[in-house]
Amino acid sequence: MNARQSISGQSSVESGQVLAEIKRIVGEQMGREVGSLSAGDSLARDINCDSLDIVEIVMLIEEEFDISVSDEMAQQVDTIGDVAAGVSELLAQRTD
């Protein structure tokens, strides 16, 4: 079951669900244990994501949540928490 299946039909998306899913995606993409990741981890500094990693993570997020992330938003995020907040915002806009 992917995130959109588990959260579809809800009027609001639980931020904890989004964060958990983002951590799973980042962990799988970067070969990291999900439990070792936190919302405050910087994608570049703490997880060592390069620009290609970021593009791949964004593509996985777009597919998982059935959303479109702008290039501007993708460039503005620094931490896993930033990514989760941006995804939550996009999901909230979609359900409004």
Write out the catalytic residue numbers: 50
Tokens linked to 72: 């501007």
Chain centre distance of CA 50: 16
- Other Cβ atoms less than 10 A from the Cβ of 64: the count is 17
What are φ and ψ of residue 79, in 5° steps?
Answer: -110, 165
